[in-house]
Amino acid sequence: MSADKLKEYVWIRIKNIISSEMMKCFTILKDKSKSKRGVRSAPEMRNQTNNSDNSRTRRGTRSTGSVSSSKSIPEMYRDKQHNLRVFSPSELREATNNFSRLLKIGEGGFGSVYKARIRPPDGQGDPIIVAIKKLNTQGLQGHKQWVAEVQFLGVLDNPNLVKLIGYCAADGERGIQRLLVYEYMQNKSLEDHLFNRAVPAIPWKTRLRIILGAAQGMVYLHEGLEVQVIYRDFKSSNVLLDKDFNPKLSDFGLAREGPEGDLTHVSTAPVGTYGYAAPEYVEVGHLSTKSDVYSFGVVLYELLTGRRAIERNRPTMEQKLLDWVKQFPVEGRTFSMIIDPRIRNQYSLNAARRIAKLADSCLSKIANNRPTMNEVVEILQQALQDTEGETSSGVRPAESSKYNGLIASDKHLNKMGVGPSTRQIPVVQRS
């Protein structure tokens, strides 16, 4: 081998090692965050503004030289924390029948989720049905993410975000206890409906309404508050569905405040879920609202195809959803092959093409070329209109009765200004 060839070979090896170490780093970081954190007590949380990602005060000098006076999330939280209920461990033990397996409705990286009943705030009237998430004391996402969840959801308020009712934090003989009490979402998550064959498939129109609502939740995060919020964990399991299939984003343990002033991104160690994270975030830790847009593009393809972002049990060529769909270009004759077989006879091809094009732009390698979530909302509204205009290929009667709740959800969507009759995107001002 010549000296030049050898140099080139060594350089390629180094690059490969670096990128494979980065990929490991990506997953390891998520695991580390799961196992290490979880050692601080609640009173500290109540007083602290730490959540290191969000701790910096925003009254600093911006890169433009102007002074920002917007409050940080921990500062806003201090003003609003009284809205959250603080539960005792015994209250939540009783509510879940001592964390009975019969009441367990899910399990994620943070711990187990239980369906439970709690007393109403004033003690009067019927009990309230809630979902209680219990931190697995072995570690997992841990205390820091628990604090972030409480602080973000204590501040955020939007019909497309899950409502946090309260929390419980206690350190004692039973060890560290961290629990979160949420509004109960009757239809679990989008993931359950897209990939679990035991659950009926969601009809085409419902899929569009769900993804539109999720997009509006993201517009609120990116543009609807004093500070910009980067969600960092957009995926189908974090889109919860209420009894009328209205979507609500959940899990803000990884959320963080966006860059200030003219800065385009913040630099941070990558955490998140493999398969959904943007390349610039995984490779160099550049995090921006456009990283969320990328994850949104992945979920758009999940919604079209009924396939997960990564499926290890498929043939090699089909394991990575984004690689697989490339074989069926959006303008090609084979495009319809990607559509979820469970809805193939009741979707709108025009709308599906529009959505695939949108997904491709969200998945652009260059973050700046991706649309904003506001633009995404506009295109999704158009796709919904394409579908409305093609009633002949609309929802099958059998399914429309199963999803009767959507009539109510239409009303709900209209209230937010996104019903079928309006093309306008809700313009949310960011101060």
Nearer of residues 58 and 207 to ligand ATP, judged by Cβ = 207
- Residue 10 token pair: 């060594």
| 134 has binding-site annotation | yes
**Greatest distance between any 2 Cα atoms in the chain:** 84
Per the CB < 8 A criterion, the answer to whether 146 and 178 are in contact is yes
Q: Which is nearer to ligand ATP, 273 or 295 (CB)?
A: 273
d(CA 224, CA 229): 9
- Compare residues 216 and 273 and give the one whose CB is closer to ligand ATP: 273
If the CB atoms of residues 195 and 328 are measured against ligand ATP, the closer one turns out to be 195
> In terms of CB distance, is 108 or 279 closer to Mg ion?
108
112 is a site residue for Mg ion (CB under 5 A): no
Burial of 240 (0-12, 13-18, 19+ CB in 10 A): buried
Binds 188: which of ligand ATP, Mg ion, none (CB < 5-8 Å by kind): ligand ATP
Q: How far is the CB of 240 from Mg ion (least distance, A)?
A: 8
Which residue pairs, CB below 8 angstroms and at least 24 apart, start in 415-423? Answer: 416/159, 416/216, 418/212, 418/213, 418/216, 418/377, 418/381, 420/384, 420/385, 420/388, 422/381, 423/378, 423/381, 423/382, 423/385
* CB distance 230 to 258 below 8 Å: yes
How far apart are the C-alpha atoms of 236 and 233, rounded to whole Å? 10
Question: In the structure encoding, which two tokens stand for residue 98, read together?
Answer: 């001592």
Cβ at position 236, least distance to Mg ion in Å: 10
Nearest residue to 133 via CA among 121, 120, 145: 145
Binding partner of residue 131 among Mg ion, ligand ATP, none, CB cut-off 5 to 8 Å per kind: ligand ATP
Min. distance of Cβ 163 from ligand ATP in angstroms?
Answer: 9
Q: Which of 188, 199, 187, 204 is nearest to 304 (CA)?
A: 204
With CB under 5 A as the rule, give the number of residues binding Mg ion: 3
Closest by alpha carbon to 277, among 264, 295, 299? Answer: 295
Coil, strand or helix at 181: strand
* Residues within window 221-280 making contact with Mg ion, judged by CB under 5 A: 238, 251
In angstroms, give the least distance from the CB of 252 to ligand ATP. Answer: 11
390 binds, among Mg ion, ligand ATP, none (CB under 5 to 8 A by kind): none
Alpha helices in 187-328 (DSSP H): 190-195, 204-223, 279-284, 289-305, 321-325
Q: How far is the CB of 122 from ligand ATP (least distance, A)?
A: 22
Catalytically active residues, by annotation: 233
| Footprint of ligand ATP (CB under 6 A) | 105-110, 113, 131, 133, 162, 182, 184-185, 188-189, 191-192, 237-238, 240, 250-251, 273
Among Mg ion, ligand ATP, none, what does residue 182 contact (CB within 5–8 Å per kind)? ligand ATP
In the complex, the residues that contact Mg ion under the rule CB under 5 A are: 108, 238, 251
**Sequence ranges of the binding site for ATP:** 134
**Sequence ranges of the binding site:** 134
